[in-house]
Amino acid sequence: MKILIVVNALKFGGAEKQAIIDANSLVNQGHQVTIAFNKKGELEKLLSRDIKRYQIKNKNVIFASVQLLYHLWFNKYNIIHCHMFWAEKVSVLPGKLTNHKLVFNEHGLGLWRKWYHILIIRFISIFVDKIITSCEATKKVRIEREKINRNKLITIYNSFDNIGEKHSNVTLPDFLKNKKEFIISFIGRFNPVKRLRIFIEIAEQLKKKIPRFRIVLVGDGEEKKKVKEEVKKRGLSRYFYMPGFILNPAPYYKVSDVFVLPSIREAFSIALLEAGASGIPAIAFNVGGNSEIIKDNITGFLISDRDISLLIEKIVFLYQNSEKKENMGKAAREYIKNTFSVKNRINNLEKLYRDIV
């Protein structure tokens, strides 16, 4: 098949990374794949050389749609697979005018969408052949809040892949190479939704409970400066390490003892998949699709939202019970690799494509 994958940016993010994984895996299965994007970014390094690139040079939806329409007049595809809202808006009109089959991939819960966004997605969904939701939590929002026809929806889980490992040039700091501290990690974007300031309260409490620990926050974003300033103000700098954005954070997962995801909301977290596949237990608030990744008390812990005291209690429990921690990590690795493998996702995508075409 000839497949066009459309995404806003080749910058780091769960949806963007999944688009890259899909593109590479479909090429490996013998399909011809082109990826259309608006903004270049670090993820372009991870694309197979067999994937064609097509840059949509205007972010404005109307002008971007016109450019894509011109491309589609002269390039016929079996499937156009759009990841996220911008790609969906840009692709729907040119896709239908040129008689293409359209698939939308909804990764997030979309709770940020205002009434007019909901009207747009409800309208353009009429013209799409199928909408993939990244988890059952995402599907529920599409049905209940956005009133999308449930027959248009299908859940195909995102997948784990160590896609960036061969590109890694990570040099861990000495305290992680020669680990003598209990390592609590977070890997992802520094934005308000992730509630990273919770780690400051965690550090304040753990000072009294764990002799030696370090909180490693990997990533970048608008909240990073604020978090660093608050850490310094509270005199907690010795407990924190923030190396910035890492293209392949696998070495940081591997030296962690526990992964903590304190988000206000999550759809289907790629970071939770990567943590589990790396063999470390995770602790997350029971929001969105977190319960579809973490098997409570087996591969990690699900905490009632905002129950920071219980979150801290579970961190201390894992510190005090190393055998339980190791067993949970092993269970997480098996569960993630068996349930959320790239093979499973690509098999499901190929079946969906064949059914549509």
Together in a domain, 111 and 249: no
**R_g over Cα of the chain:** 21
**pLDDT at residue 352 tops 60:** yes
Together in a domain, 119 and 177: no
pLDDT tens column, 67-103: 999 999 999 999 999 999 999 999 999 999 999 999 9
pLDDT tens column, 259-291: 999 999 899 998 999 999 999 999 999 999 999
**pLDDT at residue 164 tops 60:** no
pLDDT of residue 290: 96
- Of 56, 82, 85, 81, the closest CA to residue 71 belongs to 56
Q: How confident is the model at residue 165 (pLDDT cuts 50, 70, 90)?
A: low
- pLDDT, mean of residues 120-140: 96
**What letter represents residue 193's amino acid?**
V
**pLDDT at residue 317 tops 90:** yes
Q: How confident is the model at residue 342 (pLDDT cuts 50, 70, 90)?
A: very high
**pLDDT at residue 167 tops 70:** no
Angle 136-119-124 (CA atoms, 0-180°, nearest 5)?
Answer: 75
- pLDDT, mean of residues 298-320: 96
Together in a domain, 318 and 179: yes
d(CA 192, CA 229): 15
**pLDDT at residue 111 tops 90:** no
**Kind and range of the H or E element at 48?**
none
Q: Residues with Cβ < 8 Å from 303, sequence gap 6 or more?
A: 283, 284, 285, 286, 310, 311, 314
pLDDT of residue 96: 96
- 102 touches 82 (CB < 8 A): yes
Together in a domain, 58 and 123: yes
Together in a domain, 207 and 314: yes
Together in a domain, 33 and 82: yes
Q: Which domain holds residue 241?
A: 166-339
Q: What is the DSSP letter of 321?
A: -
Angle 289-292-296 (CA atoms, 0-180°, nearest 5)?
Answer: 115
pLDDT tens column, 191-216: 999 999 999 999 999 999 999 999 99
Q: Residues with Cβ < 8 Å from 349, sequence gap 6 or more?
A: 22, 26, 81, 156
pLDDT of residue 14: 80
- 342 touches 159 (CB < 8 A): yes
**What letter represents residue 207's amino acid?**
K
pLDDT of residue 247: 79
Q: Using DSSP bridges, classify how beta strands 282-285 and 300-303 pair: parallel, antiparallel or unpaired.
A: parallel
Q: Residues with Cβ < 8 Å from 29, sequence gap 6 or more?
A: 346, 350
Token reading at 63: 């002008």
- pLDDT, mean of residues 162-178: 74
260 - beta bridge partners? 283
- Of 235, 215, 241, 227, the closest CA to residue 190 belongs to 227
Together in a domain, 82 and 184: no
Q: How confident is the model at residue 170 (pLDDT cuts 50, 70, 90)?
A: confident
Contacts 24+ apart (CB under 8 A), 173-178: 173/241, 173/243, 175/214, 175/241, 176/216, 176/252, 176/255
Together in a domain, 331 and 348: no
3-state secondary structure of 140: helix
Of the chain, the percentage scoring pLDDT greater than 90 comes to 86
Q: Which residue has the higher pLDDT, 269 or 351?
A: 351
**pLDDT at residue 47 tops 80:** yes
Together in a domain, 55 and 125: yes
Output the average pLDDT for the chain: 94
Backbone angles phi, psi at 283, to 5 degrees: -125, 125
Q: How confident is the model at residue 20 (pLDDT cuts 50, 70, 90)?
A: very high
- pLDDT, mean of residues 51-78: 96
Q: Residues with Cβ < 8 Å from 160, sequence gap 6 or more?
A: 270, 273, 274, 276, 277, 336, 337, 340, 341, 342
- pLDDT, mean of residues 110-117: 91
- Of 269, 301, 309, the closest CA to residue 285 belongs to 301
Token reading at 46: 């991870």
Q: What is the DSSP letter of 357?
A: -
Together in a domain, 173 and 282: yes
pLDDT tens column, 213-258: 999 999 999 999 999 999 999 999 999 999 998 878 889 999 999 9
**Kind and range of the H or E element at 11?**
none
Tally of domains in the chain: 2
- pLDDT, mean of residues 315-343: 96
- pLDDT, mean of residues 177-195: 94
- Of 97, 103, 148, the closest CA to residue 128 belongs to 103
Together in a domain, 135 and 223: no
Token reading at 164: 């960036």
Residue 250 belongs to a domain with what CATH number? Answer: 3.40.50.2000
pLDDT of residue 171: 86
Instruction: Looking at 260-341, list the stretches that DSSP marks H as alpha helix, in order from N- to C-terminal side.
Output: 270-277, 308-320, 322-339
- 259 touches 186 (CB < 8 A): yes
Together in a domain, 97 and 176: no
**What letter represents residue 238's amino acid?**
R
